Structure 1
């Protein structure tokens, strides 16, 4: 099983001095990021679908080293009124990533308000039809979806279940790694109970540093998936990017996976200790 590990987004100004050297231009963030991580979750496409030239630039700046998972625009998951032109742009624009061999799954991140109702089930089926032939990972935040029969249906229609790690606040899926296809997708949001509902921003909600014990627990689950031969690839995305928490957690998880005989990509030693930022 090939394991990819990265973060939700890379355009984080508070990583200056941690991952990015002080004074690094935002246009150079991806080039630096790609020397340390082999995948990234593209968040900007949630707010506006980039064009072909933008994706060409990403493929070039990544140096051919980093896989991209591409978040669907909010018209698909929040307003849920996409037009044909939205589908065309969402499906066609990342073509430069496909040509470069850097395209991972699409990610549909539905809000907590998206409950398991007949109407929403029909919508999810329609979305699966429109993205047929492409890997589409689906995060369903309301606990009503967290059922074996849902995952069985997703497997039947070619959808990838996103396994999430949320704070233990109730009403959301349990932190279990499930795989519904050849590709698994794990999103680690952090466990900050105090800010998950009350936080005024995503940065506040994701302000959490995982303990080694918590990451060892996830490494055990990943090991179980590998031993069972349930997936050919697994994407692990840390969403706790606030204050560089994810940057500190990823080396710990890599170490835990290696200890269990699961090979993961490691930065070259001279890159990880090259004095680019405080963290490395």
Structure 2
């Protein structure tokens, strides 16, 4: 099983060190040395992590040139999971032009061998109804031939028959880690295809529903025992997957930067090493 691990997004100003940093900067919650310009963030990021989940595409689908720049700045080191624009998952009224742009714009990543799955991140309000099941089926058909990971946050979807159906249509079940607030899928790794996808959101119960921003909801640092728990769950499915994408969404205050080395070490101790570069 090849493992690709990174964070939800990379353009985080909080990760910019206020002064010169030493070699152990990740444990301090810094990634970018003092003075690093935003256009250079990805180049630095790619020196540390072999995957990234692209957040910007949720708000506006980048064009070909933007994706060309990403491929160039990552220097073949990092795979990109591209989040679908919100018109697909929240408004749920995509037009033909939206599909065309979403499918065609990342072509430079495909040509460079850096394209990971698309990610459809549905909101909690997207329950398992007949209408929503039909919409998901239509989406699967439009993205046929492309890897599409689907995060379904409402517990009504968390059923074996749903995952079985997703497998039949080539969809990747997103295995999530949420705070224990109820009403959402259980924290387990499931394989519905040869590719797995894990999103670690943190376990901040107090801010998940009441938080005023995503930063507040994701303000959580996993401890060693929680990381070991996930390493064990990942090891259990290692024989079922060819690839596994793991993304830490707890990017607030650099928590994800501290947790990734912890999980990497825990996986290596279980005989599961990360692919250093996607194209190796």
Q: TM-score of the superposition, structure 2-length normalised?
A: 0.94
Q: Does the CA-based 8 Å contact 2:191-2:241 persist in structure 1?
A: yes
- The correspondence for 1:19, drawn from 28, 31, 49, is 31
Which residue matches 1:243?
A: 253
| CA distance in 1 between partners of 2:251 and 2:273 (Å) | 24
Partner residue, 1:272: none
Residue 7 of structure 2: aligned partner:
7
**Aligned position for 2:63:** 51
Equivalent position to 2:271, from 261, 264, 267: 261
* Deviation for aligned residue 1:266: 5.6
Match in the other structure for 1:140: 152
Alpha carbons 2:2, 2:275 under 8 Å: kept: no
Partner secondary structure for residue 235 of structure 1: strand
2:241 alignment partner in structure 1: 231
Secondary structure of the equivalent of 2:134? helix
2:73 aligns with one of 51, 61, 65? 61
Q: Count matched residues.
A: 265
Choose from 170, 192, 201 the match for 1:189.
201
Paired residue secondary structure (1:249): helix
SS at match of 1:138: strand
How do 1:1-280 and structure 2 match up within 5 A? 1-17=1-17, 18-226=30-238, 229-265=239-275
Q: Deviations over 1:144-185 (max 9, x none)?
A: 000000000000011000000000000000001101001000
CA contact (8 A) 2:61 2:101 kept: yes
| Aligned-residue offset at 1:265 | 4.0
Write the distance in 1 (CA, Å) between the matches of 2:241 and 2:261. 23
Contact map agreement 2:196 2:245 (CA 8 A) in 1:
yes
User: Structure 2: 5+ residue runs without aligned partners?
Assistant: 18-29
Contact 1:36 1:266 in 2 (8 A): no
2: CA distance, partners of 1:76 / 1:102: 23
Q: Supply the distance in 2 between the matched residues of 1:223 and 1:190 (Cα, whole angstroms).
A: 20
Local SS of the residue matching 2:256: helix
Task: Could you tell me which runs of 5 or more consecutive residues in structure 1 were left unpaired when the two chains were aligned.
Answer: 268-280
